[in-house]
Amino acid sequence: MSEKIKITLPDGSERQYDRGVTAMDIAKDISEGLARNVLSAKVNGEVRDALRGIDKDARLELLTWNNEEGKATMWHSSAHLMAEALEALYPGVKFGIGPAIESGFYYDVDFGDQQFDSENLKQLEDKMLELARQKNEYLRKEVSKTDALAYFQEKGDEYKLELIDELEDGTITFYTQGNFTDLCKGPHIPNTGFIKAAKILSVAGAYWRGDESKKQLTRLYGITFPKQKELNEHLEMLEEAKKRDHRKIGQELDLFTFSQKVGKGLPLWLPKGAILRERLENFLKKAQVKAGYDQVVSPHIGGKELYVTSGHYAKYGEDSFQPIRTPAEDEEFLLKPMNCPHHCEIYKSRPRSYKELPIRYAEFGTVYRYEQSGELHGLTRVRGFTQDDAHIFCRPDQVKEEFAKVIDLILYVFKALGFADFTTQVSLRDPDNPGKYIGKDEDWERAEAAIQEVANEKGLKTVVETGEAAFYGPKLDFMVKDALKRSWQLGTIQVDYSLPERFELEYTGSDNLKHRPVMIHRAPFGSLERFVAILIENTAGNFPLWLAPEQMSILPISEKYHDYAKEVFLLLQQKDIRGQVDERDEKIGKKIRDAEVKKIPFMLIVGEKECEERTVSVRAHGHGDQGSMSLNGFVDHFQGLVDELLK
């Protein structure tokens, strides 16, 4: 066996190294500066310790703080560092799980009889940094199941013992840094010295393994950075995020509410919120008509067999509401978790010819999924939500063209709503876990190739994520960064050969034989509820002019000018400019301030001069006095701004 192995770097270049070389060795060979920043490495697609040996030919990507996987490695290592600090400060504490999350990490802790509250956070942070400065290595060790159980039995940690019981012998690893050892599969950063700034963000309760019948542990959320400056910037961002919280702004602007009697995770849209939703829907419906879509409507429930056929019941049955049983024997319905099975049945309602394809069905369909109550969060995680769903049934030779048209539609939506900073994620299946998916290998290969080809032809900035595909097909997800540089998955397009097979969909080809169509799933908004939440936080409630529920407020200086104000209101209403007349007996200054707080784009002040000259004095939200305009002049000005946004 050769002692040399071939390492292929992301740029395609190849290097020869001795077997057992580490990613850190390779980083040092490339550049000492690079090595100082390497946190972990991706070896043949698997994220591993940078100090772990590589024993065969491999594709290698060195991960730094600039990579999401690099950040995740550091945050997972930081959870271990926090646990070490807790053991030093609170001897005898026990630990549940401590993963990295989207922004930071958490660890579930059993303090026993010891008290821990927010007053102890600074002490914990200081201890973490004290330990970090020791630059202790994270040492990986493979252990037998017997030894693993013995270690935590001696330590008296029943949580780790429960986790080890579920593991297979030969798959168990420990990691040690300093005086702390934990059950963990890794990976970890080379040493604690990379952690230069730490903050414990919050303290919460969490039942062990999410089971309300088990003990409630203390969940500590934290975050770390390689520089104090970056932590300071993150904390400033969090403060700004609190101001932009869609739940807070949604309440201030009277957009939506929740009711315990209606049920957790089931939003109630108030009149202004309903207007916002309607405008979003009408905006997309108009664009869809131009793009050749037909509107369809499907019921909120479907027979259980529908979702068994589609595969949704097997994949998502546990996340759905329980079946609805009727008086009829063996008759069961489900609140629909997806719209696509219904659309398959609409397609199947009569014979189809190749000349009809592509057929594009669109629906703002409300679906229901039983999310855990602890995971519900405002509009971003709900149990009932509306998808701007559409399904395109096309011939195989039409897939690329239809996929490209959907990309164009999503880009149009993003432009109109001010989402300029985004990347696209090509989500492929995990070849090592075929049981997660349905369908034939050759169909998956064709679908994955088509998505990547079209994305390249469109010049999209893409990343490829293996294992992130839907169970029925690969997809292209649009990852949008908001005003606070947070990343959200919004639009999605999926290519599906499997559902047409499962539902036995057909069309008659030019050869007079039966063929299977290909199905493209797409949703520019995704969940309308989640999209509105992101839009609120991105704009801080200052919606694009065409979308604002109240686009203007007419402010008469006194009661004498109420009649003229109403006349202006009716004229603008005829031009589809929405708003209200503020007839309150208040000084004009207060009316202006209140309109500013409500983020109303235009304030139209009317008094004696305006009444005589048939004009309005215009103020723009956040920009002050815009001068006097005739009524037609204001309408033209308003429409020009809207046209610019929607062109």
Of the listed 389, 443, 482, 496, which one is catalytic?
A: 389
DSSP code at position 511: T
Q: Which CATH homologous superfamily contains domain 4-64?
A: Beta-grasp domain (3.10.20.30)
Mean pLDDT (the chain, rounded): 92
Of the listed 42, 80, 475, 619, which one is catalytic?
A: 475
Is 475 one of the annotated active-site residues of the chain? yes
User: How much is the pLDDT for 2?
Assistant: 58
What would the pLDDT profile of 179-198 be if each residue is shown by its tens digit? 999 999 999 999 999 999 99
Of the listed 340, 344, 394, 611, which one is catalytic?
A: 340
CA distance 587 to 227: 51
Is 389 one of the annotated active-site residues of the chain? yes
Q: Provide the CATH number for the domain formed by 263-297+354-539 in this structure.
A: 3.30.930.10
What would the pLDDT profile of 20-30 be if each residue is shown by its tens digit? 999 999 999 99
Of the listed 188, 391, 405, 598, which one is catalytic?
A: 391
CA distance 223 to 200: 7
User: How much is the pLDDT for 348?
Assistant: 96
Helix (H, G, I), strand (E, B) or coil at 389: strand
Q: What b/e string do you get for 301-331 counting C-beta neighbours within 10 Å, with b at 16 or more?
A: ebebebbebbbbbebbeeebeebeeeeeeee
Sign of CA dihedral 224, 227, 232, 236: negative
Of the listed 336, 369, 515, 522, which one is catalytic?
A: 369
User: How much is the pLDDT for 119?
Assistant: 82
Is 394 one of the annotated active-site residues of the chain? no
Is 623 one of the annotated active-site residues of the chain? no
Of the listed 387, 398, 425, 494, which one is catalytic?
A: 387
Taking CA atoms, 405 is separated from 287, 460, 497, in Å, by 12, 14, 19
Kindly indicate the confidence band of residue 437, based on its pLDDT and cuts at 50, 70 and 90.
Answer: confident
Q: For the whole model, what pTM was predicted?
A: 0.80
Q: Does the pLDDT value for residue 1 go beyond 50?
A: no
Least confident of 277-291, 443-457, 583-597: 443-457
C-alpha closest to that of 142 among 27, 44, 53: 53
CA distance 150 to 631: 83
Q: What's the half-sphere exposure (Cβ side, CA atoms, 13 Å) at 188?
A: 28
Q: Is CATH 3.90.45.10 the classification given to domain 552-646? A: no
Is 340 one of the annotated active-site residues of the chain? yes
Sign of CA dihedral 323, 325, 331, 334: negative
Give counts: helices (H), strands (E), the chain.
Answer: 20, 35
Question: What's the rounded mean pLDDT across residues 217-239?
Answer: 95
DSSP of 562-583: HHHHHHHHHHHHHTT--EEE--
Torsion, Cα of 567, 569, 572, 576 (10° steps):
-140
Q: Provide the CATH number for the domain formed by 69-241 in this structure.
A: 3.30.980.10
Paired tokens of 181: 């050892």
Write down the domain spans for the chain: 4-64, 69-241, 263-297+354-539, 299-338, 552-646
Of the listed 42, 76, 383, 521, which one is catalytic?
A: 521
